[in-house]
Structure 1
Amino acid sequence: MLPDFPATAIANVRDLLLFYAECGMSYAVISEILHLHHNILLSANAICKRLKRYGLQCRRGPVSITQQELQSIVLDKLKLLPKTVGYRQLTDLLKQEGHHVRRDQVMTMLRQVDPNGVQFRSRRRLLRRTYYSLGPNHTWHIDGCESYK
């Protein structure tokens, strides 16, 4: 749902940009809203440059968690999750739970907390299981390949 711009204010581009940026919208969404509702054509890149000129830095997202809290949460999550979960999935899980964290923060925290897991994932090599089967067509993989030994 589109937030209502204050009706009493005269809508100039600067006020609109600042209002929608403070609502937490991405630059692409702001660009679309300006085009559809205010008949103003600005690209997302132009919006970013203008907001920077107005003193609002390019956003990397709000952060509402300290490093110690993030470390304890990441340690708790790593106990429950498989070791193939990387910083991207972990960041998404934290955001779904309502924590506002940046991906780079989670990445550096994972490097500190779980260096072996980071090295394991960076090699992009999974540990293959060895199956012992009674004979052909006894054990099948989901992908349809037979596996027997």
Structure 2
Amino acid sequence: MIRQDILEKIKELFYKGFNYRLIHYLIQRNHNCDISYNCLTRKVLPRLGLKRRLADIALDEIFDIAQKEILNGCSGAESLRRIIKMKHQLNITRSIARDIVRLLDEDGIKRRKQRRLRRRQYFSKGPNFVWHLDFPDS
């Protein structure tokens, strides 16, 4: 039987988005666990409830998480999908992510489609009171 710490590491690698071959290699290499690739894909991952396709999705939960992430500055369906997968360990399809973003962030979609520069406004007390870092998709 596989140790609990190795099972946790498999879950962590799965939710980071690594493919099954890479998970198998990393588990063998770093944790000295001699497990076959077929055993990993056919027994261990299904037993842990980890699957890439046709995952059961609670849309209410996804919708609530998406609202919070969009308010935190997540822009775009692909970015939302990646954040939900990494932070919350939930797999959603691209079409569901697009539909959610279309419902929750209509202005953001319109702004990104226009590809226009949006000027920022700053109100400061004086010189050297404002510092600005420009992040992608800001």
TM-score normalised to structure 2 length = 0.48
* Structure (1/2) with the larger helix percentage: 2
Structure ranking higher on relative contact order (CA contacts 8 Å, 6+ apart): 2
- Higher CA-based Rg: 1
